[in-house]
Structure 1
């Protein structure tokens, strides 16, 4: 027992030096395993990714990548998670998702009335009624989820699309024609309204995933992309577009945020005047802040209708 503890201690120490504190936590999962450390295998493979094809990939690398995808699919791993109140991206898991496209050929995928041709299998291809019941979510016909995405209990997927590496939290509704991009993180009790787009990390390549916190409402046809973080309890009105370069203007304080919507914000689309005063440019406007108690008692429509108060 002492020897095992010593091995783990020095393994964590080395991992902290090489990969950083947070990734070292994940590193310890694999100490003592008969298989080499997953993270080390993924990191090494990613450095030579241009050389990897379905024919050239070695068995160890393929097994490591497939284990990560299975872990993402089951919710064992998350590309990003909140640690000590801050969102941390585990880049090696994202790299495994990217590598998965290098090791698989396109293949026929059967659909209800047609066929598809892709490198990534569909999540529900082998699901039985018992497994759907056990995992506890609903999937409406035409909803598409790729293998490697995790869907929590009590979720409802209307005809929508959830990409590989994404995490959809418990009690969340993904409404009609909404898209959850690759590795995007969606919190608990979120409502993604019709046509909402949550950006991914694969195309174009992004450093960090887009994150929607718990108890958020994202209005119809809104887009949140490029690794933007929408913190807990936010209400985003219909047709709001937020990327890393979008000015997020707080009308109460005059402060401008980039890449982050503060917790409890009610946000609508707007514009700010240019310095010369000759034109205005698009922005997102925080019109008010609400706490969790208010959000729970007041309807979404009422919050948005009373923005002039």
Structure 2
């Protein structure tokens, strides 16, 4: 057992959370509870924005996902203490409680990419026209491709490729809820969806159109073995599939994730080789 996790964010957030019903976004009187909360929450979002704090991470000692509930509470409090204001990015106009992210040191940001303040995007990441929500975390050398979305609090590792149209689900409530975790070196094929706190482990590759939720059943195509639900195994090639289940009304194909092949641990992503594996089974990336 390691030392218990201690949030880098101030304990005032927990105190404000208990009094959240008293907060008002239009109360800007100096010294008021809402004004105090606004300053504390704004500082917390700045910390998330800079990567000094994050909503969740994988503990390298236990392999468990650790959630910083205080960070989640700070984001939720933002919707209670920030008023709706107008903002602009070029010719585009917005009205929101949380402003757009403004600082992208070392990051390539293509026109059309939108990131809300309170989301961290690492230097060397690439954002095509896409969307990253508050609390999201996009690590180094990761590509968020065209029309891909990174939902609130979703955690994306290093050297990940989120292909065109990928949907990474978000979660804010309850504060203890585990967000989607995409670990280092993963590849998520076009139009795939990973939602409800599902986890794509390191080096896993999902073929186009795969759907992975926390309750999705996962099977090994070689052995028929059922693997942990809601997880794409490390260093594997997976595709969306169906498994027949009998109901009173008949037999129906229920969605599942099928592990087609295991990769050597540390095997780098070779898109041509991945295409060959998937096309052998009639699937594209």
With the length of structure 1 as denominator, give the TM-score of the two structures.
0.81
8 A Cα contact 1:265 1:290, kept in partner: yes
Q: Which of 204, 208, 219 is matched with 1:234 structurally?
A: 204
In structure 1, runs of 5+ residues without a counterpart are 1-19, 30-37
Higher relative contact order (CA 8 A, sep 6+): 2
- 1-structure distance, mates of 2:154, 2:125: 16
Q: 2:121 aligns with which of 131, 138, 151?
A: 151
Q: Deviations over 1:254-277 (max 9, x none)?
A: 214312222112111111011467
Q: Equivalent residue of 2:152, what SS?
A: coil
- The answer to whether the Cα contact below 8 Å between 2:218 and 2:257 also exists between their aligned partners in 1 is yes
Number of corresponding residues: 270
Which structure: larger Rg?
1
Which shows bigger deviation, 258-267 or 270-279? 270-279
Q: Please state how far the C-alpha of 1:278 moved relative to its aligned partner.
A: 2.1
Distance in 1 separating the partners of 2:71 and 2:3: 15
Counterparts in 2 of 1:113 and 1:296: CA distance versus 1, 3 Å: closer
Separation (CA, whole Å) in 1 of partners of 2:240 and 2:174: 24
After superposition, the Cα gap between the structure-2 partners of 1:45 and 1:21, relative to the gap in structure 1 and judged at 3 Å, is farther
Verify: 1:167 aligned to 2:137, yes or no.
Answer: yes
Q: Is contact 2:235–2:263 with CA below 8 Å preserved after alignment?
A: yes
Partner of 2:276: 302
Q: Distance in 2 between matches of 1:205 and 1:23?
A: 15
SS at match of 2:260: strand
1:122 aligns with 2:100: yes
Q: 1:94 aligns with which of 60, 72, 93?
A: 72
Q: 1:194 to 1:205 in 2, by over 3 A?
A: farther
| Equivalent pair of 2:203/2:266 in contact (CA under 8 Å) | no
**Superimposed CA distance per residue, residues 227-253 of structure 1 (whole angstroms, 9 cap, x where no aligned partner):** 111110000010011112221222234
Partner of 1:104 in structure 2? 82
Local SS of the residue matching 2:267: helix
Equivalent-residue separation in structure 2 for 1:234 and 1:153 (angstroms) = 23
The answer on 1:40 being equivalent to 2:1 is no
Which structure: greater helix fraction? 1
Three-state SS of the structure 1 residue aligned to 2:5 is helix
More displaced 10-residue stretch of structure 1: 287-296 or 220-229: 287-296
Contact persistence 2:38–2:82 (CA under 8 A): no
- When residues 22 and 259 of structure 1 are mapped into structure 2, their CA distance, relative to the original with a 3 A threshold, is farther
- The residue matched to 2:49 in structure 1 has which SS? helix
Residue 173 of structure 1, CA deviation: 0.4
- Between the aligned partners of 1:57 and 1:21, the Cα distance in structure 2 is 34
Distance of 2:33 and 2:280 partners within structure 1: 58
The 2-side partners of 1:67 and 1:212 are apart by 27
SS at match of 1:274: strand
> Which portions of structure 1, spanning 4 or more consecutive aligned residues, are displaced by more than 6 angstroms?
203-206
Partner of 1:289: 262
CA spacing shift, 1:199–1:206, aligned 2, 3 Å: farther
